[in-house]
Amino acid sequence: MPRPLTATIHVDSMQHNLQRARICAPASKIWAVVKANAYGHGLELGMQGFALADGLALIETDNAVRLRALGWIKPILLLEGIFDPTDVALLAEHNIDSAVHCIEQIKMLEYTQLYRPIDVHLKMNTGMNRLGFLPDEYAAAYARLRAIPGIRHITLMTHFANADELEHPRLKIVEQVRRFRLGAAGLLGERSLSNSGGVLQQSVLGDELASDWVRPGIMLYGGTPGGKTAHEFGLRPTMTLASEIIGIQQLQSGDSVGYGSSFQATAPMPVGVVACGYADGYPRHAPHGTPVIVDGVRTTLVGRVSMDMMTVDLSPIPNARVGSKVTLWGDGLPIDEVANAAGTIGYELMCAVAPRVRVQEGRLGTNG
Ligand SMILES: *Cc1c(COP(=O)(O)O)cnc(C)c1O
């Protein structure tokens, strides 16, 4: 028997969440973001779940090519663009769109003969200060791209730093939009603005965020960038990480458990050993009290997470036994809640699921 730890991917939930994004931004085309192996869900399953998206966006050039090999015929976008002059040929060969965020990338495009036209997405830095041209450099970058014969459409693109927090004291989303409008004034091309945070704000900001394209990621995987919960946004979990109890210990008052003996029982209690550890992607820094579900009952992590195992309080589940089902996150336990308890975000948990974890497909509510 394989180890009982599995990540069940709910392709039907991915379809549902994509539909939620459509409802939030009905006038926009959707790039479903499938970077980082579809946020840990697997590229093939991402492609299946988002078959109705208008395009797939990602970071990794090899996976962009792989999407073509897997049969994806709609647009593909490289969100960080190309990394090397030799990547230019790859764009033309596989009909892949590329972000252009710096002068070095423009030079790569200028120096390489394109034997087939390509579409690019010119990125503006509107305050995030990661990638892109400043608003007052933008028109010049646009003109330089426009002068390259092999370039067809230029989409105007920016990225929001605080889309989940409208009243952010340092950088408000409306301020980024204002800078974007200023820098893009008079330039021809479609506009691409919102990540999940922006998509989920459309009901509040409406026209302010209107754009031809949106680029949701986390919301399609049933997580939120912040603000309300996934459930309140009508999103469903797309990944359930589940395992089983593989051992039970009866602690006496004063006994401790695991490395560092960091948890000490103050009364007799049963502790279950779960086949899941940090080598599987479960965060090692998750503290006592992080929620887990055993046999349908909520309980908590106790003691330190080790490489292959973690330990949970079985006091609320007196009938638990070796083989009892454990949900680490997903169905019945929002990933954002586990992430919050562990001092991280749902994004990181999804992306960190390790290669040794068995991945299977299954509908929500039918696994275990
Ligand atoms: C990752 C990414 C997104 C998606 O962000 P979410 O917060 O997951 O919705 C959108 N745009 C760009 C440029 C990205 O890199």
Query: What one-character-per-residue DSSP string does 160-216 give?
Result: -S-TT-TT-SS--HHHHHHHHHHHHTT--S-EE---HHHHHHHHHHGGGG--SEE--
Which of 221, 254, 270 is a domain's end point? 221
Q: Do 265 and 190 belong to one domain?
A: no
**Catalytic status, residue 29:** no
Would you say the CB of residue 33 lies under 6 angstroms from ligand 1? Answer: yes
Provide the pairing of β-strand 263-264 with 256-257.
antiparallel
Q: Do 277 and 215 belong to one domain?
A: no
Q: Do 51 and 160 belong to one domain?
A: yes
Q: Do 289 and 251 belong to one domain?
A: yes
Ligand 1 atom having least distance to the Cα of 221: 8
Query: What one-character-per-residue DSSP string does 40-73 give?
Result: TT-HHHHHHHTTTSSEEEES-HHHHHHHHHTT--
Burial (CB count within 10 angstroms: exposed 0-12, middle 13-18, buried 19+), residue 366: exposed
Q: Do 314 and 351 belong to one domain?
A: yes
Q: What is the CA radius of gyration of the chain?
A: 23
**Residue 78, in any domain of the structure:** yes
**Residue 4, in any domain of the structure:** no
pLDDT confidence of residue 367: 46
**Residue 330, in any domain of the structure:** yes
**Catalytic status, residue 39:** no
Euclidean distance between CA atoms 323 and 294, whole angstroms: 10
Q: Do 352 and 249 belong to one domain?
A: yes
**Residue 166, in any domain of the structure:** yes
pLDDT confidence of residue 206: 77
CA-closest residue to ligand 1 atom 1: 217
Q: Which residues does residue 358 pair with via DSSP β-bridges, in sequence order?
A: 6
**Residue 231, in any domain of the structure:** no
Q: Do 126 and 202 belong to one domain?
A: yes
pLDDT for 50-59, tens place per residue?
Answer: 999 999 999 9
Q: Read off the pLDDT of each residue in 14-32 and give the average, rounded to a whole number.
A: 97
Would you say the CB of residue 78 lies under 6 angstroms from ligand 1? Answer: no
Q: What's the domain range around 295?
A: 239-361
**DSSP structural state of residue 287:** P
pLDDT band at 368 (very low <50, low <70, confident <90, very high): very low
Cβ partners under 8 Å of residue 326, min gap 6: 242, 243, 244, 245, 272, 274, 276, 292, 293, 294, 312
Number of domains in the chain: 2
Q: Do 302 and 352 belong to one domain?
A: yes
Q: CATH no. for residue 42?
A: 3.20.20.10
Q: Do 289 and 156 belong to one domain?
A: no
Which of 221, 249, 271 is a domain's end point? 221
pLDDT for 298-344, tens place per residue?
Answer: 999 999 999 999 999 999 999 999 999 999 999 999 999 999 999 99
Task: Answer with the residue of higher pLDDT: 343 or 115.
Answer: 343
pLDDT confidence of residue 216: 98
pLDDT for 266-299, tens place per residue?
Answer: 999 999 999 999 999 999 999 999 999 999 999 9
**Residue 135, in any domain of the structure:** yes
pLDDT for 189-202, tens place per residue?
Answer: 999 999 999 999 98
Q: Which of 1-10, 90-99, 204-213 has the lowest mean pLDDT?
A: 204-213
Crossing angle of helices 87-94 and 103-111, rounded to 10°: 70
Taking residue 351's Cβ as centre, other Cβ atoms within 10 Å add up to 17
Q: Do 61 and 207 belong to one domain?
A: yes
Euclidean distance between CA atoms 135 and 83, whole angstroms: 23
**Residue 65, in any domain of the structure:** yes
Q: Which residues does residue 327 pair with via DSSP β-bridges, in sequence order?
A: 242, 293
The amino acid sitting at 264 is Q
Burial (CB count within 10 angstroms: exposed 0-12, middle 13-18, buried 19+), residue 25: buried
* Ligand 1 centroid – CA 9 distance (Å): 20
Would you say the CB of residue 217 lies under 6 angstroms from ligand 1? Answer: yes
Q: Is 20 helix (H, G, I), strand (E, B) or coil?
A: helix
Q: Do 180 and 214 belong to one domain?
A: yes
**Residue 291, in any domain of the structure:** yes
pLDDT confidence of residue 366: 55
Q: Do 322 and 243 belong to one domain?
A: yes
